[in-house]
Chain A
């Protein structure tokens, strides 16, 4: 199954700034997924990123706030723009394991906005 390197692992950011999170996969994958986990909550899908096309965003998430890049089949970035304290969450990327629909996750980025 795929191995994902996600960074940064954590960050503390000032409100109004932006943070870009990177995920590098050790094999080529068609789709990458970005999730948000607010404190004490479950995971919510932000968007699905395909290489060579615009990301598909879930209801409640917009490209201006969470722009995503997918320049090739092994890499993706998620930017959290114009941050507010409400953006404080764990952000996780994931890819399909290639078997049984299962997904491998990056180690997560714990973001705190002050």
Chain B
């Protein structure tokens, strides 16, 4: 069975600084994808970044990067140069070839301080 763990219920970061949101996972599937989504107070789910299990390099998308450590089964999200608009819930998720759906971690609420 797949399992996604986010151990940080809440995180604070000063504006313009970098922050790392933790995510660990467990799966027996050899091929899988890891995702991060942002959910602002409006409730919509915004896709941020994707990492494939066979990707050799860590994914990057603008200010977002994913620190993928396959042996440790971790996929931490790094947000550089935090902005006030980054304040939101962040969810780590996993999908695989064997399961067509996506499973989510508990989420981390990020607050960016001015």
Contacts and interface: CB of A to CB of B under 8 A. Distances in A.
B43 A100 contact: no
Contact of B91 (A42, A94, A100): A42
B44 A101 contact: no
Nearest to B91: A42
Interface stretch (B12-20, B67-75, B79-87, B96-104): B96-104
Given A42-B107, A48-B100, A100-B50, A105 B33 contact: no
Contact of A110 (B43, B50, B95, B104): B43
A107 B95 contact: no
A68 to B, nearest CB: 14
Contacts of A33: 101-102
A90 to B, nearest CB: 5
Contacts of B96: 101
15 contacts: A37-B43, A41-B106, A43-B45, A44-B104, A45-B102, A48-B101, A94-B102, A96-B100, A100-B52, A101-B95, A101-B102, A102-B35, A102-B50, A102-B95, A104-B47
Interface of A: 31, 33, 37, 41-45, 48, 90, 92, 94, 96-97, 100-105, 107-108, 110
Interface of B: 32-33, 35, 37, 42-45, 47, 50, 52, 91, 95-97, 100-107
